[in-house]
A and B are shown apart, each in its own frame.
Chain A
Amino acid sequence: MIVSFIPILAVDVLGSVAMVVISLLSLYKAKILRGMDPDNAIFLYLLWISVGLTIFSVSRAFGHILKQFLVLTSNTDTWHAISAYSGSVNTVSFMLVGLITLFFNQNWNINEKIFSGRKKLEETHIKLMDLNQTLENKVVERTERLTSSEHKCRRIFEQSLDTILVTDAEFRIMETNPAGIALMGYDREEMIEKKMILGGFFLDSSEWEKLSEKIKFKEYILNEEAEFIRPDNESILVLITGGLDYGAFGCAKTYHFIIKNVNDKRQMEQQIAQADKLAALGELSAGVAHEINNPLGIILGYTQLLLKQEQEPENKDDLKIIEKHVQNCKTVVSDLLSFSRKGSTEMSIVDINKVVDGVVKFLSNHSDFRNIEMTLNPHKGDRLNILGNEQELSQVIINLVINACHAVDRKGNIDIVTEKTDQDKIFIRVKDNGKGVETKNLTRIFDPFFTTKPVGQGTGLGLSVGYGIIKRHQGDISVKSSKGKGTVFTISLSAVKSKA
Chain B
Amino acid sequence: MPKKYWFNPGSFLRFIPVFAIASLILLPLDVYAIQIHTSSEGIITHQVGHLFFLFSMVVLIFTITGKGLNKQKGWRMIQYSAFFFVLWNIDAIIAHFLDNQICAIKIENISLTRIKLVSQNDSSVLPWLYYILKLDHLLSVPAMLFLFKGLSNLVDDQKKIIKEKASQ
Chain A residues in contact with chain B, CB under 8 A? 1-8, 11-12, 14-16, 18-19, 22-23, 25-26, 29-30, 32-33, 36-37, 43, 46, 49-50, 53, 57, 71-72, 84, 87-88, 90-92, 94-95, 97-99, 101-106, 108-109, 112
Beta-carbon contact of B158 and A8 below 8 Å: no
Beta-carbon contact of A5 and B57 below 8 Å: no
| Bound Cα distance A363, B152 (Å) | 128
Is B113 interfacial (CB-CB < 8 Å)? yes
Beta-carbon contact of A5 and B113 below 8 Å: yes
Known: A98-B54, A101-B57. 4 other contacts (CB 8 A): A3-B117, A8-B135, A53-B147, A98-B56
Is B103 interfacial (CB-CB < 8 Å)? no
Beta-carbon contact of B138 and A11 below 8 Å: yes
Distance of B76 from chain A, by nearest CB (Å): 14
CB-CB under 8 A for A91 and B46, given A1-B128, A101-B56:
yes
Beta-carbon contact of A18 and B113 below 8 Å: no
Beta-carbon contact of A104 and B60 below 8 Å: yes
Interface size on B, residues (CB 8 A): 57
Distance of B96 from chain A, by nearest CB (Å): 9
Give which listed residue, A3, A32, A43, contacts B114 with CB less than 8 A. Answer: A3
Beta-carbon contact of A19 and B141 below 8 Å: yes
Inter-chain contacts of A90 with B (CB < 8 A): 46
The closest CB in chain B to the CB of A97 belongs to B53
Residues facing A in B98-118 (CB within 8 A) are 109-110, 112-118
Distance of A173 from chain B, by nearest CB (Å): 62
Give which listed residue, A3, A11, A26, A95, contacts B53 with CB less than 8 A. Answer: A95
Inter-chain contacts of A57 with B (CB < 8 A): 144
| Bound Cα distance A16, B136 (Å) | 10
Chain B residues in contact with chain A, CB under 8 A? 1-2, 5, 8-10, 12-13, 42, 45-46, 49-50, 52-57, 59-60, 63, 67, 78, 82, 109-110, 112-119, 124, 127-128, 131, 134-138, 140-141, 144-145, 147-148, 151-152, 154-155, 158-159, 162
| Bound Cα distance A104, B66 (Å) | 12
Inter-chain contacts of B1 with A (CB < 8 A): 112
Inter-chain contacts of A32 with B (CB < 8 A): 155
Beta-carbon contact of A26 and B144 below 8 Å: yes
Inter-chain contacts of A53 with B (CB < 8 A): 144, 147
The closest CB in chain B to the CB of A37 belongs to B158
Beta-carbon contact of B13 and A102 below 8 Å: yes
Inter-chain contacts of B12 with A (CB < 8 A): 102
| Bound Cα distance A101, B12 (Å) | 13
* 18 A–B contacts, CB within 8 A, in A order: A1-B119, A3-B116, A3-B131, A5-B113, A8-B115, A19-B140, A19-B141, A22-B147, A22-B148, A26-B148, A29-B154, A33-B155, A33-B158, A91-B49, A98-B52, A102-B12, A105-B8, A108-B67
The closest CB in chain A to the CB of B130 belongs to A1
Beta-carbon contact of B10 and A105 below 8 Å: yes
The closest CB in chain A to the CB of B152 belongs to A29
Distance of B7 from chain A, by nearest CB (Å): 8
The closest CB in chain B to the CB of A92 belongs to B49
| Bound Cα distance A19, B134 (Å) | 16
Beta-carbon contact of A102 and B144 below 8 Å: no
| Bound Cα distance A50, B12 (Å) | 23
Inter-chain contacts of B136 with A (CB < 8 A): 15
| Bound Cα distance A19, B128 (Å) | 25
The closest CB in chain B to the CB of A26 belongs to B148
Inter-chain contacts of A3 with B (CB < 8 A): 114-117, 127, 131
CB-CB under 8 A for A102 and B59, given A5-B114, A6-B113, A46-B154:
yes
Beta-carbon contact of A11 and B56 below 8 Å: no
Beta-carbon contact of B110 and A2 below 8 Å: yes
Beta-carbon contact of A7 and B135 below 8 Å: yes
Beta-carbon contact of A94 and B50 below 8 Å: yes
| Bound Cα distance A49, B45 (Å) | 21
Distance of B43 from chain A, by nearest CB (Å): 8
CB-CB under 8 A for A22 and B49, given A11-B138, A102-B13:
no
Give which listed residue, A4, A7, A72, A97, contacts B56 with CB less than 8 A. Answer: A97
Inter-chain contacts of B54 with A (CB < 8 A): 98
Give which listed residue, B9, B135, B147, contacts A50 with CB less than 8 A. Answer: B147
Inter-chain contacts of A18 with B (CB < 8 A): 137, 141, 144
| Bound Cα distance A101, B113 (Å) | 39
Inter-chain contacts of A11 with B (CB < 8 A): 135, 137-138
| Bound Cα distance A219, B78 (Å) | 87
Beta-carbon contact of A95 and B5 below 8 Å: no
